[in-house]
Amino acid sequence: MENIKLSIDNVFNFVSHDTIYAYESEIKNHLDSIHDKTGQGSDFLGWLHLPSSIRDSHIEDIEKTAAKLQGKVDVMVVVGIGGSYLGSKAVSEALSNSFYAMAPNSDAPMLIFAGQNIGEDYHSELLDILDKKTYGIIVISKSGTTTEPAIAFRLLRNHLVDKVGAEKAKDLIIAITDESRGALRKLADDEGFKSYVIPDDVGGRYSVLTPVGLMPLAAGGFDIRAFIQGARDMEKLTDRNVPFSENPSALYAATRNALYREGKTTEILANYNPKLNFLAEWWKQLYGESEGKENKGIFPASVNFTADLHSMGQYIQEGERNLFEIVLSVKSTDRKLIIPEDKDNLDGLNFLAGKKIDFVNKMAELGTMLAHVDGGVPNIQIEIPKLNAYYLGQLMYFFEKACAISGYTLGINPFNQPGVEAYKKNMFALLEKPGFEEETKKIKSRLDKK
């Protein structure tokens, strides 16, 4: 079976082969630190061997829970924010019919997401839709008190209880939370919700292979066994004993850091398949939250080509030269669609007649890569043999491992996120949350002066 492939050939005009390979010794040390758990944030390395350590009994339990739900509901509302929803959202979007709202995948429930924003219209409209649907809730929160998902879960739980009654509602709610602590754990135990554990040693953005990602995906009818197997195989391919030149995560981490030290401070993830839009959102959180600290870090951005070639393409081609790209290229499509001949040829496209749509897309990809490299934008390419659960498992583990290596190369802890708390303190002060009285006085005084 093929694996995803990393190519850095279109980087060597900007940083040399020797410059990148000079990182080999340093990267080896970082891999040893990761595997020996001797580096910063080592308490949060539970994801490292997660693929190979997932027990079959655990997978079976998740699958059985999913099967029970699939017979009862039309919709599963997944409540979470950040790493508690982006992983399952990324995989489900990649593997679903592009128009899944009108053409559901199967008999499995449709996955809908809530708690990732505080939009009043969004949640009101969601409740309106759920009035007409049978639904269940998967609520994901380590503490149960994170503002956005806690508000959404309160609304949804009340709505579900009013709709079906408390006894039926408890069988339609799954809690994924801490093993023994927190508000959601207490509620789950008190109410008798089926629950799964978020491991203490796995941070949210690395949690897609825990029940955080696996339970929603199983409920949505996706093949979690193939997803896990892809990650297992990539775990082996990125092991510390794999030579630097053959280890895709090590090579990617070295290349992006070499570019960063040459002033390429923004990395753009580009894809040519709209099904990968939310994979880019997951990737942005993984790298942004892991590396953006201590006034350091490569800024992660994303574009959806070819659509964004008609908007952001101008800047990428001729704007400030602090950019590099990583391009996700899907080798084979699931479907085949041929461009037809037209007798009048008013659009001038008969030269494409008989060709596959994907052939045109691939030529757009190649042409764009050549133009961007000529314009001063280094390109890294990842070829995905096919868009399926197995290769998504490979891809996501590859990115996780590379992120850890890259963070250590930057000299920061890639597993914490101290800056995330700053907005929360201000928000709680403005909302006059109990315990924030002094902060409320200070922030009101500051605003009054303005």
DSSP assigned state of 383: E
Long-range CB contact pairs, 260-263, < 8 A, 24+: 260/298, 260/410, 262/14, 262/15, 263/321, 263/322
In angstroms, the CA 411 to CA 329 distance is 31
Instruction: Report in angstroms the alpha-carbon separations of 48 from 32, 43, 154, 336, 351.
Output: 12, 11, 34, 38, 50
In angstroms, the CA 395 to CA 397 distance is 6
* 3-state helix, strand and coil shares in percent for the chain, rounded to the nearest 5: 55, 15, 35
Distance of CA 132 to the CA centre of its chain: 30
Instruction: Identify the active-site residue in 120, 132, 167, 310.
Output: 310
Cis peptide before 255 (omega within 30 of 0): no
- Residue 388's SS3 state is coil
Nearest to 318 by CA among 387, 262, 377: 377
424 is catalytic: yes
In angstroms, the CA 279 to CA 313 distance is 20
In angstroms, the CA 408 to CA 41 distance is 10
Instruction: Identify the active-site residue in 5, 72, 168, 424.
Output: 424
In angstroms, the CA 201 to CA 180 distance is 14
Which neighbouring-strand residues pair with 7? 381
Burial tier of 278 (Cβ tally within 10 Å: 0-12, 13-18, 19+): buried
310 is catalytic: yes
Instruction: Identify the active-site residue in 289, 291, 325, 400.
Output: 289
Distance of CA 100 to the CA centre of its chain: 20
Nearest to 303 by CA among 312, 290, 294, 291: 312
Nearest to 157 by CA among 149, 215, 219: 149
Helix axes 224-237, 211-219, angle to 10 degrees: 140
17 is catalytic: no
- Residue 331's SS3 state is strand
Burial tier of 8 (Cβ tally within 10 Å: 0-12, 13-18, 19+): buried
Give the residue numbers annotated as catalytic, written as ranges.
289, 310, 424
